[in-house]
Structure formats: structure tokens, C-alpha cells
A and B are shown apart, each in its own frame.
Chain A
């Protein structure tokens, strides 16, 4: 079967670093996505990993290990505007996205 899991909520301090983990199980895999969703708004694309390793994009980085079914999103130099939900999703053998429930990130001053 298919499943995907990520923590429900995390809290971090402004200026710090936070890592949001995501684990998944699937027989068909065509990449791993991270989206950001602010309260009341639509999700917006952050990153896409299809090969193992780390992809860096400014303050945000995303890592993938296909053999372990594991990904993380790393946010550096946290800002208050980073308070949002972070959604992990993998693309299955039919290129359909399977979504995690999202991790609500709370940033404290």
C-alpha cells in the first residue's frame, strides 16, 4: 500500500533552524514535493526531489533518501512569516500526488 507521515506540529524560535521530517511507503515513486500553506490560503510549491541528496534554495533545503523512504525540509534563519503548514507529498507511479496531513510550524519570537 501507500502511506506518508509527517509530524502534526512543531515549534521553533525566530532566527533558528528547524527540520521537518517526512516518511513514506510506496511501490511506485516519481519524486517528493514540499509545499507551504499559510492559513486560509492555497498551497504554494517549495521544492521537488527525485534523486537522492540535498537541494538548496535560499533559506530552504530539501533532502531525499529513496532507499529509506525519507525526506526532510530544512528551514534556516527562521522568520515570523515562515509560520505556516508544510505539506509533504510524493508522486506515485501514475504521477498522482499522495499527500501527508501537513506539519503546522509555529515560530516564536
Chain B
């Protein structure tokens, strides 16, 4: 069966510090991968998605970046965090090709920038 894991689960970072969130998927090949952010009490905001290694699409211009160094690994990074980067970050995957589009989510990473 397929599993998705992201880490760390919780982190508190000072403004201006770097960020790295990691996500890995097991049990499937060539998945579509996604990074979402959810502010408190708000909906899901798509940040990045990837259909293959090295292929990243950015939905929202910001100081965040994403990379996909391996087929089932997706990394969210920042060189200098802003207060507005605080939120709940979710990694997700879906089956590539003309499937339904159903998303399977990781456990989430709660980031607090102070």
C-alpha cells in the first residue's frame, strides 16, 4: 500500500532563518506531488506541484521554493522566513495521468515563525 510521510511535525523558527520541510512517498511510482499551506481557520492554498523529477510549478510567488531531487521526494525550502510564512504545511500526492485527482495527504507540519 502507498504511504506518505512528512517531517518535521512541528517547528518554531525565528524570522530570517532558513526552512526545510521534507516529504516522501512509498509504494507508488511517478506520483504527482504537492505542497499546500493552510493558515489558521482558512482553506488550502496550493504552493507548488510537481509531475516529475526536477519539474516544479509554482502557484503563488513568495520566498518559498520547492525541489524534487528523487521521484518520491519533495522538499519545501526557504532561505529567509517571514512572519507571514507561519501556517500548517501539507504535502500530498496523487496518481499521475488521467485519474480522478484524489489527493492523499501527509500528516502536516506546523510552522511558527517568531
Contacts of B41 in A (CB 8 A): 104
Q: Are A41 and B108 in contact (CB under 8 A)?
A: yes
- Compute the total of residue contacts between A and B using a CB distance below 8 Å: 49
How close is A10's CB to chain B, nearest CB, in angstroms?
15
CB distance from B38 to the nearest CB of A (A): 9
Q: Nearest Cβ distance between residue B34 and chain A, in whole angstroms? A: 9
- Is the contact region of chain A dominated by helix, strand, or loop, or is it mixed? loop
> Restricting to B79-114, which residues have a CB under 8 Å from any CB of A?
88, 90, 94, 98-108, 110
Given A42-B106, A42-B107, verify A31-B101 contact (CB < 8 Å): yes
Total residues of chain B contacting the partner, CB 8 A:
21
Interface segment out of the listed A12-20, A57-65, A69-77, A89-97: A89-97
Contacts from A to B (Cβ < 8 Å): 30-31, 33, 40-45, 48, 50, 87, 91-92, 95-97, 99-102, 104
15 residue pairs A–B, Cβ–Cβ below 8 Å: A40-B88, A41-B107, A42-B105, A42-B108, A43-B105, A44-B105, A48-B102, A91-B101, A95-B94, A95-B98, A95-B100, A95-B101, A96-B101, A97-B103, A100-B43
- B residues sitting closer than 8 Å to A (CB atoms) are 41-44, 46, 49, 88, 90, 94, 98-108, 110
